[in-house]
A and B are shown apart, each in its own frame.
Chain A
Amino acid sequence: MTTQAEMQIAPSAHAHVERKWWHYFTFCEDHKVIGLQYLVTAFFFYAIGGALATAIRTELATPASDFVSPNTYNSLLTLHGTIMIFLWIIPAGAGLANYLIPLMVGARDMAFPKMNAMAFWMVPPAGLMLVLSFFLESPQAGWTSYPPLSLMTGKVGEGIWIFSLLISGTSSILGAINFLVTILKMRVPTMTIHKMPLFCWSMLATAGLILVGTPVLAGALILLAFDLLAGTSFFNPMGGGDPIVYQHMFWFYSHPAVYIMVLPLFGAISEILPVHARKPIFGYKAIAYSSLVISFLGLIVWAHHMFTSGTPAWLRMFFMITTMIIAVPTGIKVFGWLATIWGGKISYNSAMLFAMGFIAVFVIGGITGVMLAAVPFDIHVHDTYFVVAHLHYVLFGGSVFGIYAAIYHWFPKITGRMVNETLGQIHFVLTFIGMNLTFMPMHELGLMGMNRRIAFYDARFTSLNQLATVGSYILAVSTVPFLINAVWSWMKGAKATDNPWNALTLEWQTSSPPAIENFEVLPVLTTGPYDYGEHQSEEGKLPPGASPALSGSSSGS
């Protein structure tokens, strides 16, 4: 236990200013306001994306195209994909990062608060544009928007789609600059890089991916916009262009985007599990560096989305190997998490249930991910419901479970009130059942021959599709207890203490909700972020609510 002698005292000028509700609707530079703005906005778009998904599943309840027209169906799936990725999961991750990074590293705010606010305020217009495009000539070429199809159908919507993605991409880049600089440069002096919470590690990896990947997508979209609006032929074979180049540029971003969506939640899970299992994280450095390895490998696997497209044999083999290797750092994480909870004293609250549910469903997505990397197998299942199942196990089972776990875990910190556990557990059970019922049958559908993105299908697939549709309705219903819980607990929930989970990371060492400048006195670390159980031998049983790990914190003040 090393105690630092020097203490950095920088009392804040605004520490006792109250945060008013209307601040949340303004251009506010406080990272906590921005974090919440992101989370709430993202959830709003999640509801829209979810409604679209329910419409898609309703259409697919019968083999015929009877609920919506095939054109509308394609708009539904295009907007569902785009909204869920660019307006729900990525902004939700950014929201968590905004809220947590400064608190976790002991900073008063992000490095560039104004830019941070700008980044957030790009999201609502981008999202609203996209939603409005549905009522014009909506985009119908899928969220991948492959030319030449995207140059031929729903042109107005396609233009809006491009513009909207450029805006949200810019927002994402500005946010990532903030995360990177804050994590690297603004930690309290006592926090060495190896005492940094794992969420910060994973956000570091995420920020790197955003900064390298998103600009390339922007490049692709600029060229696509020229094809669409100015009549050039970069990607249009009719004029001598090459649609494969678009696919490469698109996936160079959009594969890393999967890690941009799931790495923040890997980090969140690494925070949540040790706290509720009362055990140190198993293999801190392995988990920390595996994020960076995933991020690096994530940049050199993109063409596995193009195995059946214009990808020559040797490239197929190269991308097969790199893709499979990603299983190794991911496996390190999963096994590390399992070893963390093994032998712990686990409290099964909503946060922990979602965190363990995350591991349970994510591992299925991971296994099918390795399968899909195998070129001969991928050739069979590419663009089928097997892929749909896989990606939803990763993005719903991974990201969405992770977001829920994070919301339940940090809810007391953010709102100063506890969640209702009963509603939380109902939410978990419904989500877990609904998710598996919706997406598990899709594996078999894809293997048996059902292609994706179709408004009507062969009648022999009916029963499994109906099962999935029932599952999707359960999923839709499952958000109701969550919403009631969140709103009711925020208003009327039991008051939370500053550190209800007895956690060791810095965000718990300040008041709940944190003061405007986060800390009365900047904290000085005395232990690592996950040193649970370490002081029992020396100091005996510690009373709950005490903050054994830190001195100079403001808890209790």
Chain B
Amino acid sequence: MQGTVDPNKAALNYHNEEVAAPPHEEHPDLRLFGLLVFLGAESMIFLGLFVAYLTFRAVYPSWPPEGTPERELALPAINTVILITSSFIIHNADTAIKKNDVKGLRIWFSITAIMGAVFLMGQLYEYSKLEFGLTTNLYASTFYVLTGFHGLHVFLGVCLILAVLWRAQKAGHYSDQEHFGVEAAELYWHFVDVVWIVLFILLYIL
């Protein structure tokens, strides 16, 4: 609820204080800032895992270790394109809600959710086709854990988007003034996207 009233106005209009003020209204909406801080911390997990991966890579004489079955590049490349495109698509939803266009929000969020689901299914399909398992060797383990951990984040992102869609059913829940949920889901989705780009470069390109 916090942040439904513009804090500056609240401060200036203190004569009208009888408009029953919920307890925390005196401070501005800090949720987006909080989310940014959280994503900063979250990116440190990925950074830690990436650096661990790079260290394993550097320490091994050859990488992937000899005997690791080949991976296909086409499928993950398609997946990458899907995920990057979805990041642009979800931004349309943000533009829409800023124009108070809830219908647009619903459409763009639905498309993003579908693309996210396609990405996840693509990922699972790739797992099923791979010729190495989690414990085959160090490369295989890092591959599964990194993509799996990212996949978990994509899954959470899709859940967030679905939650926003669910809430958007109620008229007036999101408006050009009040749409933290939309912004949060979008920001999270971009984060997941950026992490994937780094991951893709590390695991498939390098």
Direct A–B contact present (CB less than 8 angstroms): yes
Which residues from chain A sit less than 8 Å from chain B, CB to CB? 8-14, 107-109, 111-113, 115, 173, 176-178, 180-181, 184-186, 211-216, 218-220, 222-223, 226, 230-234, 239-242, 245, 248-249, 252, 517, 522
B42 within 8 A of A: yes
Listed stretches B13-21, B103-111, B154-162; interface member: B13-21
The contact sample of 13 A-B pairs, CB cut-off 8 A, is A10-B17, A109-B23, A111-B34, A177-B37, A177-B38, A185-B30, A213-B44, A219-B45, A222-B149, A231-B135, A232-B135, A241-B138, A252-B48
Question: Are A232 and B134 in touch, CB under 8 angstroms?
Answer: yes
Question: Are A219 and B23 in touch, CB under 8 angstroms?
Answer: no
The number of A-B residue pairs with CB atoms under 8 Å apart is 131
Inter-chain pairs besides A111-B34, A222-B49, A242-B55, 7 sampled, C-beta below 8 Å: A8-B11, A109-B23, A181-B30, A181-B34, A212-B41, A215-B48, A226-B134
Given the interface pairs A223-B145, A226-B141, the reply to whether A248 lies near B55 with Cβ below 8 Å is yes
Chain B residues 47 to 76 lying within 8 A of chain A, measured CB to CB, are 47-49, 52, 55-56, 59-60, 65
Residue in chain A with minimal CB distance to B22:
A13
Q: What 5 A-B pairs are tightest by C-beta distance, nearest first?
A: A219-B48, A215-B44, A216-B48, A232-B141, A215-B45
Residues of A within 8 A of B65 (CB): 240
Question: Are A230 and B135 in touch, CB under 8 angstroms?
Answer: yes
Residues of A within 8 A of B37 (CB): 177, 180-181, 211
Question: Are B31 and A212 in touch, CB under 8 angstroms?
Answer: no
Residues of B within 8 A of A107 (CB): 27
Q: How far is the CB of A235 from chain B (nearest CB, A)?
A: 9
Residues of B within 8 A of A181 (CB): 30, 33-34, 37
Q: How far is the CB of B188 from chain A (nearest CB, A)?
A: 15
Question: Are B52 and A240 in touch, CB under 8 angstroms?
Answer: no
A173 to B43, CA, bound (A): 13
A11 to B21, CA, bound (A): 9
B172 within 8 A of A: no
Question: Are A108 and B42 in touch, CB under 8 angstroms?
Answer: no
Residues of B within 8 A of A231 (CB): 134-135
Question: Are A113 and B24 in touch, CB under 8 angstroms?
Answer: yes
Chain B residues 91 to 137 lying within 8 A of chain A, measured CB to CB, are 134-135, 137
**Interface residue tally on B, bucketed by range:** 35 or more
B147 within 8 A of A: no
Which residues from chain B sit less than 8 Å from chain A, CB to CB? 10-11, 14, 17, 20-28, 30-31, 33-34, 37-38, 40-49, 52, 55-56, 59-60, 65, 134-135, 137-138, 141-142, 145, 149
Mostly, the A contact residues are helix
A13 to B56, CA, bound (A): 57
Question: Are B41 and A177 in touch, CB under 8 angstroms?
Answer: yes
Interface centre among A10, A178, A226, A233 (most CB of B within 10 A): A10
Question: Are B26 and A240 in touch, CB under 8 angstroms?
Answer: no
Residues of A within 8 A of B22 (CB): 13
Q: How far is the CB of B23 from chain A (nearest CB, A)?
A: 6
Residue in chain B with minimal CB distance to A252:
B48
Residues of A within 8 A of B42 (CB): 215
Residues of B within 8 A of A220 (CB): 48, 52
Q: How far is the CB of B194 from chain A (nearest CB, A)?
A: 16
Contact among B10, B34, B41 for A215, CB-based, below 8 A: B41
Question: Are B11 and A218 in touch, CB under 8 angstroms?
Answer: no
Question: Are B20 and A13 in touch, CB under 8 angstroms?
Answer: yes
A180 to B38, CA, bound (A): 11
Q: How far is the CB of B39 from chain A (nearest CB, A)?
A: 10
Given the interface pairs A111-B27, A230-B134, the reply to whether A245 lies near B56 with Cβ below 8 Å is yes
Residues of B within 8 A of A226 (CB): 134, 141, 145
Residues of B within 8 A of A239 (CB): 135, 137-138
Question: Are A10 and B34 in touch, CB under 8 angstroms?
Answer: no
A107 to B138, CA, bound (A): 50
Residues of B within 8 A of A176 (CB): 41
